[in-house]
Amino acid sequence: MLDEIIRIGDFKKLQEKAPFLIYLPEELEVHNSTYREPGRKWATLRFECTIGNEKLRVKEFFLDWFYPGFPKSLMDSFVSSYSILASTDTTDAVIFYGKNYKGKEASSSFSLGTQIEIEGETSLNVRKLSESLVAPYISARFKNYPFYKRSFLANNGNPQWFEEERIGRLSWTPPFRKFCEGNLCLDSVGIFRRDNRTIHAIFVLSEDYNRRAVWIDIGNPDASTEHTTYEFRNGGNFFDLFEEGETKFGFRRNNGPAIIQFEQESSTVTISFSSLYQLSEVRRLGKLFREAETNTDYFSTS
C-alpha cells in the first residue's frame, strides 16, 4: 500500500481524523501543508513557516516506536549519541534543541501526545517557532485516547526496523484490570507469546490528554526472538544523572525524561518516564511500579 499524501487547507477538519493533536504557530503563516495518511508509514503532518528569510520545516506525528519524550531526531543517527542539547520547559512539554541527524539546527518535543520536530538554519528561529506553537483544536476525543487505538504499529502497521518491530509484533488490547496512580492510568497492554510463554510485554500508562506517559517494558530471553529487551546505556550528552549497578537509572534534569532498568527473576524490566517528571517523582513511581509489577492483579500478561 502506497502512502497517500494530501494537501491541507482545513486544519480543523483534519483534526477530526488525525491520531494526534495538531500544533500551529499563533502568528506566523503556514505554507506547503501536507498530511500523509497511514499506509506503509504512520500518519504525519508537515508544513513550513518563514521567519525573516529563513524557511523552517515542521513535522508532527504520534511517536509509537520508542519511549515517549525522548528527542530521537536529535541523535547523530538512530543508533548513535545525542547531539549537545539545550532545553526549555513549557506547561505541557520540554522542548529540546540541538543538531538533528541531518546536521541541521532543530528542536524536538512531546506535547500532549504529539511529537513535534522542527528544522531550520539558525537556532534562534528554531527556538522562536518551537515556542510559538499551540493546539487550537483540542477536543474530548484526546482526553482518554489510549495507545492501542492511536498507534500505527499497534494497528497492524508495517515495522521497518527493529525498534518498530518490538512494538508491532505485540498483540495490543485494553488493560485487563484498572490500575491508576493519581491521574496516571494504565491504558494499553501489548503482549508477545511463543509456545504459551510470554516473551515480551509492554504496559502503557498515561495521564489525561497524554500529558505525561510511562511505559513498563518486560522482556524475557528467547533464542528465536531478537530485541525482547531494550539495550539501556548512557548514550552521551543526554542524561545528567546516570547510575549503574543492580539497577540502571538515567535522568535528564530538571524534568526528565528518565529510564529505570533492572532484572527481576528471568525478566529485564525497563520503566521509562516521559518529560515533565521531576527526580523525586521518578524515584517514587519507579519503586511503586517495581512492587506492582510483581503483583499480577495489576500487570498481568494473561
Instruction: List the domain boundaries for the chain.
Output: 5-141, 144-293
3-state secondary structure of 31: strand
Local mean pLDDT, 10-residue blocks, the chain (302 residues):
82 97 95 94 97 97 96 78 87 95 94 98 97 96 97 92 93 94 96 92 97 96 88 85 95 96 92 97 94 59 58
Between β-strands 44-51 and 241-243, what pairing exists: parallel, antiparallel or unpaired?
unpaired
CB-based contact 203:177 (threshold 8 Å): no
3-state secondary structure of 261: strand
Specify the pLDDT at position 66: 95
Specify the pLDDT at position 63: 96
The neighbouring-strand residues paired with 198 are 193
CA nearest neighbour of 269 among 284, 290, 300, 291? 290
CB-based contact 60:88 (threshold 8 Å): no
Q: How many residues does the chain have?
A: 302
CB-based contact 164:151 (threshold 8 Å): no
CB-based contact 272:67 (threshold 8 Å): yes
